[in-house]
A = this chain, B = another copy of it.
C-alpha cells in the first residue's frame, strides 16, 4: 500500500475534459491520494462522463475542493512539484522525475504535512508564473516529435513512479533536520523583494516580472529553508529601516556595534 499518500494533494489547473478529470479521479483511488483539488475547472467535475471514468474513484470528484487560482490551492503545502510538457519554459530549470519525486517525499518532517503535485491545462499547460510557484518542475520523456501526453497519462506516470520510490526506499530515508520554506513563504518573500527593488529603482514595472522570474528561479534552485527566508526578510526589513532612520554617508560605520 502506498505510504506517501495520506498527505498528497493532486492539483489540476483549469481542466477542460470530463473524461480526463474522471480518469484522474480513478488514479487518485488507484494510488490512495489524499485529495483532488481543482483550480477553476472549465468542465463539470460531476458530469456523468467524469463519474463513469472515475469508476471506484468517484468520491474524489464528489469531494474535490475548488480554488480560484493555483496559489490558493497550494497555500498549505510544504512541498510542491509541477509538471511541464512545453518546450518554451523560459528560464525555469527542469528536473528529471526521479529527482523531483524523491525530493517530494524525502522529508520525514513533512510526512504529516500536505504536499502537492500540480498538473496544467490540456491545451496549454501551466504558465511560467504558475511553474514558478512550485519548488521543482518536472518534464516527462516522450518523443520530441510529439511530446504532448494526455493529461491523465501524465498523472498516471508520475503517480506510479512516485509510488515506486516510496515503496522501495522508505527505510533508507535520510532524516532532514530543517523545514523547507513553503511556496507561500517563498512567494511572499519574492513579492516583498520585488516591492523594494521597484522602490529603489532596480526594477522598472514593465520588466519587473521577467527579472523577478530569474531571481525566483535562483531561489528555487537553492531549495530554501524557512530560516533562509527569515534571513532574507530580515535583510529587506533592515534596508527599509535604515533608509528611514539613518543616512548612509553621514553615519560612519563602526566596527563593533
Which listed residue (B93, B228, B247, B249) contacts A174, Cβ 8 A? B93
Q: Is there an interface contact between A228 and B240, defined as CB atoms closer than 8 Å?
A: no
Taken residue by residue from 205 to 240, chain A's Cβ proximity to chain B (1 for < 8 Å, 0 otherwise) reads as 110000100110011011110011001001100111
- A122 vs chain B, min Cβ distance (A): 10
Q: Is there an interface contact between A141 and B171, defined as CB atoms closer than 8 Å?
A: yes
Q: Is there an interface contact between A174 and B95, defined as CB atoms closer than 8 Å?
A: yes
- A interface vs B, CB < 8 Å? 1-2, 19, 23, 26-27, 29-32, 53, 55-57, 93-96, 98, 139-150, 152-153, 156-157, 160-161, 163-164, 167, 170-174, 197-202, 204-206, 211, 214-215, 218-219, 221-224, 227-228, 231, 234-235, 238-244, 246-249, 253, 255-257
Number of copies: 2
Which listed residue (B32, B156, B246) contacts A149, Cβ 8 A? B156
Q: Is there an interface contact between B221 and A146, defined as CB atoms closer than 8 Å?
A: no
- A154 vs chain B, min Cβ distance (A): 8
Which listed residue (B26, B157, B243) contacts A243, Cβ 8 A? B243
Beyond the given A199-B248, A200-B246, A218-B224, could you list 12 further A-B residue pairs with CB under 8 A, ordered by the A residue number? A1-B145, A23-B153, A93-B174, A95-B174, A96-B173, A149-B156, A201-B238, A202-B238, A202-B239, A243-B248, A243-B249, A244-B248
